[in-house]
Amino acid sequence: MSGKNQKKYIANRKKSGMNQSAHTDAVQLSKAMPAAAGKGQQKNSSKTKTLPPSPLFDKNNLMELFARVFLLAMVFIFPLAMGTEKYANITHYKNSIFYVLAALGLCSVIVSMIIKVISTPADNFKVELPRFNLPDYAVLLYWGFLFISTLLSPYKDIAFNGQGVRNDGFIIQSFYVAVYFLISHLLKLRKFDLNVYCLGATIVAGLVMFHFFGVDLLNTGFSKPNWESGLLFMGPMGNINLTSYFVTVALVLAAGIYITRQQFPFDRYGAVTLSCFALMLWAELNLNTDAGIVALGVVLLAGMPLMLISMHRLGRYLAVLSVALGVIAFNRLVVETWILEEDFGKPGYLMICAAILLAAASVFFCCDLVHPSVRTFQQKLNTALTSRRLLIACVAVDALAVVGVLIASFFAAKSKKSGVLYEFGQILYHGNFSDKFGHNRMFTWKRTLKLVGQKPLFGSGPDTFCTVFNEVYGEEAKKFFGGRNLDKAHNEYLQLLICSGLTGLGAFLAFIGSLTVKAFRRAADNPLLACCGAAVIAYAVHAFFGYSLPINSPLMWVMLGLTGAAVRVEPDQAA
C-alpha cells in the first residue's frame, strides 16, 4: 500500500469510527432515557400538534386582507344583489355590482402596494417579481389571444364592450382574469376560504327552496309554488341554469371538505358541512338542470375517488353518498309523491335501503368499534387499503358505472320516454342528433360547428356569437325558438371556439387542465387541493351545457382563483 493510499485508508477508518461511535452513543442514550422524559417529549409534541390555527391574514400584509374581504363580498353580497326591478333587470344589476366590487378590490390592492413602497426605507426596498406557474401563463395567454381576437374582430365595439346586458366582452373578461390573479396570488388559502364559499352557496340554495315552495322572501312578485308556476327563475340569481353553476360547484366543495376533514374548527364531526351539502343538493334537484346533474354524476364517480388515500376518507366518501341518496329519496317522497301525487315506487325504496347500507359501511370504516376482533379486522383492512389499491378499486367501480350507464341508455333509447339517458342512447346507438335534444341545445350546437371555418384561428371577437350566428341562421332560429333571438351557444367551449378561435379555446383548456392536474398531483400534501380540483371538474362539465354571464361567471372565476391559491400553498404551510 502506497503512502498516499495508506493515509487515505487511516483517514476513512477514523471517520467511520467516529460516525459509528456517535451512532452507538445516540442509540444507548435513547435506550437509557427514562419513561418520564419520554412522556415529557410526548407532551411537547402534542402541544406542537395542537398549536392554534394561523391567522386568516398577516397583519403586516394589507393586500391579503383586501383579497379576503373581496372574497367575502363576492360570496355573500354579489349572489344576493338583485336591485329594485328584481328579475326584470337582474343581469345588468349584477354586472354593475361585479364591476364595483372588482374595482374596489383591485384599487385597494394598488393603494396598499403604494403604501408599502412609500413606507419601506430605500435601503430595504426590493422589487419582488411575481412567481408564475403553468396555469398563470395559460390564463395570460388566454387573455392575450382575447385581445388579439378583439383587435381583429369586424365587430370591435361588441368585442370590447359585450353584447348588451348579457355581457361577455373583452373588458369584463379582463376583469375575470384580474380577479383570478387577485385571489390566487394574494390569498394564502385557508380552509376558512372554501368553507365560506360553501356557506354563500348554501344561503342561495335555501332561498331557492323557499321560492320553490312559494315563499317569496326576495319579494320578486312570484309567490306561487314552482310546480304550479313552472317558473324558470328561482332564488337571487335568476335563471335556474345560472344558479346551478354556483350551487353545483359549492356542493362539490362541501363534499370534498367533509371527506378530507377541512371543515370549520367548531364543526368537529362535519355535521354542519354535511347539512350544507344536503341542502344544496336538494336545491339542485329542484333546479332540475341536466348540466348540474351530469356534473355531479361525473364528479362523484370520477373526481371524488381521486382524494381517497385512506380508509377513513373512504368511510366519509360513503357517508356523502349515503346522504346524497337520502336527499334524493326525501325529495322523491315530498315533492313527487306527496305534492305531485306520483308513485314512490321501487326506486324510492331501493334508494332508502342503499342509503342505510352506505351509512352502515361509513360507520364501519370511520369509527373505532369496541369489539377487539372487529378492531383487528379494521387495522388489517386499513393496512391493505393503500391509496394505490383504493384508486384501482375506484377506477374499477367507475368502469362498472360507465358500463351501467351505457346499458341503461341502450334500453332507454328503445323506450318512448324523454330524458338524458334516452337522448344519450339515441345519439350513441341510433345516430339521432335531434334538434330538440338537450333542451333544444342540439339545434344550436349543430349549426355552431358549421361556423367554425369562418375565422378558425382567432374567431370573430369576444361575445360576437349572437351577430355571427344570426347572420346565417337567424330566421331559422326564430322559427325554432318561437321568435326569440339566440345570443349564446349554450356551451362555453363552442362559444369560445366561435368568438376566440382555436387559440382562445386552446389556452382556456390549457388553463383549466393545468389547474386540475396540479391540484390532484399534490392533493396528498394539501387536502384543500383535492377539494378545489373536484370543484374545477364540476365547473368544466357544467360549462359544456352552460354559458357565461355576469351572473354566474364572476363566481366561477373566484373559485378558479381559490384553486390557483391552493396550488401555491407549500406542503408544510397547508392549513
Amino acid at residue number 134: L
Residue 552: which of 178, 234, 242, 296 has the closest Cα? 242
Mapped onto helix, strand or coil, the DSSP state of residue 406 is helix
Determine the pLDDT at residue 381. 66
| Lowest-confidence region among 51-65, 379-393, 405-419 | 51-65
Q: What count of residues does the chain have?
A: 575
pLDDT band at 483 (very low <50, low <70, confident <90, very high): confident
DSSP 303: I
Instruction: Give the mean model confidence (pLDDT) for residues 76-86.
Output: 92
| Lowest-confidence region among 187-191, 416-420, 515-519 | 416-420
Determine the pLDDT at residue 241. 92
Determine the pLDDT at residue 40. 42
Residue 99: which of 197, 172, 166 has the closest Cα? 172
pLDDT tens profile 436-453: 888 888 999 999 999 998
Q: Which residue has the higher pLDDT, 454 or 378?
A: 454
pLDDT band at 14 (very low <50, low <70, confident <90, very high): very low
The predicted model scores a pTM of 0.85
Determine the pLDDT at residue 377. 64
Determine the pLDDT at residue 16. 46
Mapped onto helix, strand or coil, the DSSP state of residue 572 is helix
- Contact present, 176 and 463 (Cβ < 8 Å): no
Q: Nearest-5° angle of CA 182, CA 173, CA 109? A: 25
**CA separation for the pair 278, 297 (Å, rounded):** 15
- Contact present, 283 and 208 (Cβ < 8 Å): yes
Does the pLDDT value for residue 492 go beyond 50? Answer: yes
Residue 465: which of 480, 485, 482, 438 has the closest Cα? 485
Buried b (16+ CB within 10 A) or exposed e, 235-260: bbbbbbbbbbbbbbbbbbbbbbbbbb
Determine the pLDDT at residue 366. 72
Q: Which residue has the higher pLDDT, 93 or 398?
A: 93
Amino acid at residue number 108: S
Buried b (16+ CB within 10 A) or exposed e, 380-409: eeeeebeeeebeeebeeeeeeeeeebeeeb
Q: Which residue has the higher pLDDT, 406 or 539?
A: 539
pLDDT band at 386 (very low <50, low <70, confident <90, very high): low
Does the pLDDT value for residue 501 go beyond 90? Answer: yes
Highest mean pLDDT among 219-233, 239-253, 303-317, 402-416: 239-253
pLDDT tens profile 237-270: 989 999 999 999 999 999 999 998 899 989 888 8
Does the pLDDT value for residue 53 go beyond 60? Answer: no
pLDDT tens profile 358-368: 888 888 777 65
Determine the pLDDT at residue 304. 67
Does the pLDDT value for residue 122 go beyond 70? Answer: no
- Contact present, 564 and 189 (Cβ < 8 Å): no
Instruction: Give the mean model confidence (pLDDT) for residues 490-513.
Output: 95
**CA separation for the pair 298, 295 (Å, rounded):** 5
pLDDT tens profile 171-183: 999 999 999 999 9
**CA separation for the pair 546, 246 (Å, rounded):** 12
pLDDT band at 536 (very low <50, low <70, confident <90, very high): very high
Average pLDDT, the chain: 83
Instruction: Give the mean model confidence (pLDDT) for residues 22-39.
Output: 39
Does the pLDDT value for residue 58 go beyond 80? Answer: no
Mapped onto helix, strand or coil, the DSSP state of residue 408 is helix
Determine the pLDDT at residue 348. 86
- In sequence order, the β-bridge partners of residue 233 are 239
Does the pLDDT value for residue 37 go beyond 60? Answer: no
Highest mean pLDDT among 1-15, 308-322, 551-565: 551-565
